[in-house]
């Protein structure tokens, strides 16, 4: 039984502003005044709690949001960044040095894939990409200089499921860190509860849910977050990908509706997935029993929030994928756009968009068809009506 309840942990937060404002006051300051010179030097040393020094390091609005995320993930601490990539690159760079090695899931977000494959060689860091569902392959890829196993709970765009407890065990046995991107499955899975050492997010997606900003987060042990923010050698402090406090405060408000949104995204996705299946489409959805990751997800998920809002269907060719997406946009199903976790349904052809950084031969190797259409299913009140619209689009498709 999964007794971890992220929604109640968010509900139980008592965060209010200096005048009792029910939404914590927004920090509109880059720097902070000290009444005693001594307190300033103690803050620099990191020995004084509750004092803020400079907003790139920490600021009160970011602290409120970070505390909410740590509560939701069951981690000791968190730090929020100006984008998901800011979180991912900072967390990775904090854990590695020149000449180190990373074992990474092959089907990760295109930007992360590009960072690992094209950027890290600058630092002589090698990455072995593996099928993350093949635990023997993960074990076999580990070398004496391996520092990280990197994966996503639910991978993009193939929606593979990482067996987080098993990967955490492999990491622990080898004294290395398991870093998990949980962007697709907030509330549904809390990777740290299952042994992940660091959890990263693009909050741009489900967590914020409004598509009005990019933002990210890193959740982990207090010691790790403190090290990230260390004024002398912390990656976050020195590279400076901090989130703007105005945004932290707007994201914090949206976190309080995340549990409702995740439920609805999942409910709508399950409806579409089962109906797509009924009309004979080739479909990937972890909520369907035939999906390869279904049983693993069932073991680690919080069942209150369903199997997530992401679906992929295989249209065979890029031409047919494009035709369908254009028809769906015209019919008002949603938008032809990258990104996900929005209240509107979004769809894109993965191979030509969010995974275009992944070379075509690797796309084929990971089983990604050029006709793959990824849906981020929205919060539609009447999903039956949406399905009818999609069916009508299918009936208008012409042979290509």
Ligand X SMILES: *Cc1c(COP(=O)(O)O)cnc(C)c1O
| Contacts to ligand X by CB under 6 A | 83-85, 88, 109, 111-112, 152, 156, 181, 183, 202, 204-205, 214, 216
Q: Nearest CA to 168 among 145, 148, 143, 141?
A: 148
CB of 346 to ligand X, least distance (A): 11
CB of 357 to ligand X, least distance (A): 12
CB of 48 to ligand X, least distance (A): 32
Minimum CB distance to ligand X smaller for 57 or for 205: 205
Minimum CB distance to ligand X smaller for 88 or for 373: 88
CB of 114 to ligand X, least distance (A): 11
CB of 183 to ligand X, least distance (A): 4
Q: Strand, helix or coil at 195?
A: coil
Minimum CB distance to ligand X smaller for 128 or for 353: 353
Backbone angles phi, psi at 132, to 5 degrees: -70, -15
Radius of gyration of the chain (CA): 21
CA distance 261 to 4: 18
313 touches 282 (CB < 8 A): yes
Tokens found for residue 268: 């709508």
Minimum CB distance to ligand X smaller for 184 or for 387: 184
Structure-token match 């084929």, residue found:
364
DSSP E strand boundaries for the chain: 77-81, 101-105, 126-130, 146-152, 177-181, 198-202, 216-220, 282-284, 310-314, 335-336, 346-349, 372-376
28 CB-contact burial (10 Å; exposed 0-12 / middle 13-18 / buried 19+):
exposed
CB of 248 to ligand X, least distance (A): 14
Minimum CB distance to ligand X smaller for 103 or for 393: 103
Residue with the CB atom nearest ligand X in the bound state: 84
Minimum CB distance to ligand X smaller for 157 or for 287: 157
């Amino acid at each position: 039984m999964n007794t971890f309840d992220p929604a109640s942990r968010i509900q139980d937060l008592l965060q209010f502003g200096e005048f009792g404002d029910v939404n914590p006051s927004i920090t509109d300051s880059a720097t902070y005044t000290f009444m005693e010179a001594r307190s300033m030097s103690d803050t620099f040393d990191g020995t004084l709690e509750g004092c803020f020094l400079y907003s790139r390091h920490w600021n009160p609005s970011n602290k409120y949001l970070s505390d909410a995320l740590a509560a939701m993930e069951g981690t000791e601490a968190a730090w929020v960044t100006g984008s998901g990539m800011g979180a991912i690159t900072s967390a990775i760079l904090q854990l590695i040095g020149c000449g180190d090695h990373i074992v990474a899931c092959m089907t990760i977000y295109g930007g992360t894939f590009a960072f690992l494959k094209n950027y890290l060689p600058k630092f002589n860091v090698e990455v072995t990409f593996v099928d993350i569902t093949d635990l023997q392959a993960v074990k076999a890829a580990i070398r004496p200089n391996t520092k990280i196993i990197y994966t996503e709970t639910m991978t993009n765009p193939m929606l593979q499921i990482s067996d987080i407890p098993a990967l955490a065990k492999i990491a622990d046995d080898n004294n290395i860190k398991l870093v998990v991107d949980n962007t697709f499955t907030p509330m549904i899975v809390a990777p740290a509860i299952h042994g992940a050492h660091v959890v990263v997010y693009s909050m741009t997606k489900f967590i914020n849910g409004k598509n009005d900003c990019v933002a990210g987060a890193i959740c982990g042990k207090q010691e790790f977050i403190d090290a990230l923010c260390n004024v002398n050698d912390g990656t976050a402090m020195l590279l400076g990908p901090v989130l703007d406090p105005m945004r932290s405060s707007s994201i914090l408000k949206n976190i309080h509706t995340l549990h409702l949104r995740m439920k609805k995204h999942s409910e709508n996705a399950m409806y579409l997935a089962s109906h797509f299946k009924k009309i004979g489409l080739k479909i990937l959805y972890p909520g369907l029993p035939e999906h390869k990751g279904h049983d693993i997800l069932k073991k680690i998920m919080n069942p209150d929030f369903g199997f997530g809002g992401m679906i992929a269907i295989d249209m065979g060719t890029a031409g047919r994928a494009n035709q369908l997406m254009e028809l769906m946009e015209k019919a008002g199903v949603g938008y032809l756009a990258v990104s996900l976790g929005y209240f509107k349904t979004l769809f894109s052809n993965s191979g030509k968009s969010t995974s275009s950084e992944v070379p075509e031969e690797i796309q084929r190797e990971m089983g990604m068809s050029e006709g793959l259409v990824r849906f981020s299913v929205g919060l539609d009140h009447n999903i039956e009506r949406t399905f009818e619209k999609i069916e009508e689009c299918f009936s208008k498709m012409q042979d290509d």
